[in-house]
């Protein structure tokens, strides 16, 4: 797996791609289902995770941001060891990225940067300045930009969605 730090390090060899966007602070069963979904639709395209350092919640309010399940270096090691994706694009979440409009984010990252064929996101995905973009607007951007948008398949355990929040709660309760 190749770690790409920042858009400025993207090269033609990183395209075309199929992309999942999120924090991926732990590789629980929900994340692994997304990785499988990426692999299933990749064909000859590069499987790519896009994540942020720091996470948006850490950037805006570090004091109330939930603790990470894994540090970025641990996630990189797990992805590499398991050969789970071809590349991980890590974007520095700073004032410039925080103020990027949804349309500019799609153009710069998804279309121009990664030559994306398919984007996979969670059903509650938000992006762009003020979290103004959502799944609906991403699908509209996909129609204009020539890429598909798939919503990640939900993984359910004991009637509840598997998520980083649920894993954190289980860890705090001593259930794991």
- The CATH number of the structural domain formed by 2-172 is 3.40.50.620
- Give pLDDT, residue 126: 94
Domain ranges of the chain: 2-172
C-alpha count within 13 angstroms, C-beta hemisphere, residue 100 = 19
Give the pairing of strands 156-157 and 160-161. Answer: antiparallel
Mean pLDDT of 89-94: 97
Please answer whether residues 90 and 3 qualify as being in contact, where contact means their C-beta atoms are separated by less than 8 angstroms: yes
Q: What is the pTM of this model?
A: 0.89
Give the pairing of strands 133-134 and 87-92. Answer: unpaired
Mean pLDDT of 165-172: 64
Please answer whether residues 164 and 157 qualify as being in contact, where contact means their C-beta atoms are separated by less than 8 angstroms: no
Mean pLDDT of 151-172: 71
Mean pLDDT of 108-118: 98
pLDDT at 24 over 90: no
Give the pairing of strands 116-121 and 148-151. Answer: parallel
């Amino acid at each position: 797996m190749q770690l790409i730090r920042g858009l400025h390090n993207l090269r033609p060899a990183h395209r075309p791609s199929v992309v999942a966007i999120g924090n991926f602070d732990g590789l629980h069963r929900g994340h692994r289902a997304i990785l499988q979904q990426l692999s299933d639709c990749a064909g000859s395209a590069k499987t790519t995770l896009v994540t942020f350092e720091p996470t948006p919640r850490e950037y805006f309010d570090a004091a109330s941001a939930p603790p990470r399940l894994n540090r970025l270096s641990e996630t990189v090691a797990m992805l590499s060891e398991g050969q789970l994706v071809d590349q991980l694009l890590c974007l520095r979440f700073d004032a410039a990225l925080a103020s990027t409009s949804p349309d500019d984010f799609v153009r710069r990252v998804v279309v121009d940067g990664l030559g994306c064929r398919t984007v996979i996101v969670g059903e509650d995905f938000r992006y762009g300045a003020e979290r103004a973009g959502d799944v609906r607007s991403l699908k509209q951007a996909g129609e204009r930009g020539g890429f598909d948008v798939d919503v990640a398949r939900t993984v359910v355990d004991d009637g509840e969605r598997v998520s980083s929040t649920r894993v954190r709660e289980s860890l705090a309760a001593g259930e794991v």
